[in-house]
Amino acid sequence: MSASQISRLGFIGAGKLAGSVIRGLMRVKFCPPGEIIASEPNEQTRVALQKESGVSVTTENAEVAEKAGAIFIGVKPPMVLPVLAELTDELENKLVISLAGGVRISNMEKVCNARVLRALTNTPSAICRAATGIARGSRSTKADFDLAKRIFGAIGVVVEIKEQQIDAVTALSGSGPAFVYTVIEALAAGGTKMGLPNDVATELAIQTARGAAEIMLETKMSPEELRRMVVTPGGTTAAGLAVMEKLRTSESLIAAVEAAAKRGQEMAKENS
């Protein structure tokens, strides 16, 4: 199926995450800009998206729900159920893909008779480096899942998950970029502390993180195997890793993912 044959895509909410997905789809020319319509209340965000991507924009959620064949819900979690409830008629038997963390499919299916999927992705969608987990709903079809997989597969890596696993995906992939940025920031700060100019340290830290990730992808080697390739007993890397172990760096990152996942579970209770 060619891109031109795909039903028009609609986005209700076009902020940070949904806007990143739209920009990624335009970057890979997934479909012509005219086949995407997005509603966004913030004028600055709306104008910037339209100018940058060429997609159609509106302030009316109902317009998106009426015109689009597949609708992405990109509003903040507390707004998901109220928005769906307001659009019950327009969403009748349509494909709805929620991008929101902390709102369960069963609760969305209660307020609208749509075919609901959840797709937990992240802001690297904008540069086609997304990590996305998709969970099916009770009414969604194989064709619905295949379309969602094709959409998100165009802008990154896609895995199918069960909904009970989705809070972990939210924590790892959705919140994960912020954790990685913190690591990069700390590496750069270490370089600056030891005498490098800030811009030089930042550039090197970014490229180091990028190179480390890419070599893992290309070689398919484990972190442990790759770490052994860098470490020389008694050398500089060993000294640094010893301090990281002493300060429990790995444990803090594991705890960060755990805390984010637990917050997702709490949000699901709040938004029921």
Dihedral angle over CA of 103, 108, 110, 114, nearest 10 = -170
Residue that finishes a domain, picked among 166, 184, 210: 166
Residue that finishes a domain, picked among 120, 136, 166: 166
- Specify whether 100 is located in the same domain as 136: yes
H helices, E strands: number in the chain: 12, 8
Question: What is the model's pLDDT at position 8?
Answer: 86
- Specify whether 96 is located in the same domain as 231: no
Helix 223-230 to helix 198-219 angle (10° resolution) is 130
* Residue ranges, the chain, pLDDT below 50: 1-6
Digit-coded pLDDT (tens) for 219-237:
999 999 999 999 999 999 9
- Specify whether 141 is located in the same domain as 225: no
Taking the whole predicted model, whether its pTM rises above 0.85 is answered as: yes
**DSSP summary character for residue 224:** H
8 Å CB contact between 60 and 39:
yes
Question: How far apart, in whole angstroms, are the C-alpha atoms of residue 112 and residue 256?
Answer: 34
Residue 247, judged by CB atoms within 10 A of its CB (0-12, 13-18, 19+), counts as: exposed
Question: What is the model's pLDDT at position 12?
Answer: 97
Question: What is the model's pLDDT at position 7?
Answer: 54
Number of structural domains in the chain: 2
Question: What is the model's pLDDT at position 272?
Answer: 78
Identify the CATH number of the domain in which residue 200 sits.
1.10.3730.10
Question: What is the model's pLDDT at position 5?
Answer: 40
Q: Give the structural domain span for 229.
A: 176-267
